[in-house]
């Protein structure tokens, strides 16, 4: 802040506080000056730019073709579905075998119980008969 109360980044006389710093750059002259200095970027590659989503729709299309589009995730989604189906199939097979083994165990126990001697509905030893 300056002594007058206006931010230093703003130009003007400080009366309205709305005047902004306006630079007029000659980009072609700047690029010509940098030609012999090498690349402007750190790694030699220009940075990746994201399109302005608030711009008008005609910026994104050129002759009916989209200049920028969201990459399709169809292949990863398809792989996920295949893995999901395989895991569900494994789960169902394990569940069926578990239920089957429980059913067999119950039937075997029931047959053994029916063979054992009872008196008044209670199991007894064969010696007590």
For 94-119, write each residue's pLDDT tens digit. Answer: 999 988 888 888 888 888 888 888 88
pLDDT in tens, 14-57: 555 555 677 788 888 888 887 777 776 666 666 666 666 555 55
Domain of 114, in residue numbers: 74-128
Q: What angle do CA 72, 75, 76 make, to 5 degrees?
A: 95
Q: How far apart are CA 129 and CA 125, in angstroms?
A: 7
> H-type helices in 1-129, by residue range?
27-34, 74-115
- For 113, how many CA atoms within 13 A lie in the half-sphere containing its CB? 8
**Residue 27 belongs to a domain:** yes
Q: What is the pTM of this model?
A: 0.30
**Residue 68 belongs to a domain:** no
In the chain, the number of structural domains is 2
Residue 92 tokens read as 């169902």
- Which bin fits 65, alpha (ψ -120 to 50), beta or left (φ > 0)? beta
Local confidence band at 76 (pLDDT 50, 70, 90 cut-offs):
confident
């Amino acid at each position: 802040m300056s002594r007058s109360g206006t931010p230093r980044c703003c130009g003007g006389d400080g009366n309205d506080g709305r005047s902004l710093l306006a630079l007029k750059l000659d980009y072609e002259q700047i690029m010509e000056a940098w030609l012999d200095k090498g690349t402007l970027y750190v790694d030699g590659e220009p940075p990746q730019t994201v399109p302005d989503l608030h711009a008008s729709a005609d910026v994104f299309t050129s002759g009916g073709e989209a200049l920028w589009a969201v990459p399709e995730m169809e292949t990863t989604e398809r792989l996920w579905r295949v893995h999901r189906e395989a895991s569900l199939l494994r789960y169902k097979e394990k569940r069926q075998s578990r239920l089957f083994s429980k059913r067999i165990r119950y039937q075997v126990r029931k047959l053994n119980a029916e063979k054992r001697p009872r008196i008044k509905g209670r199991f007894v030893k064969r010696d007590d008969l």
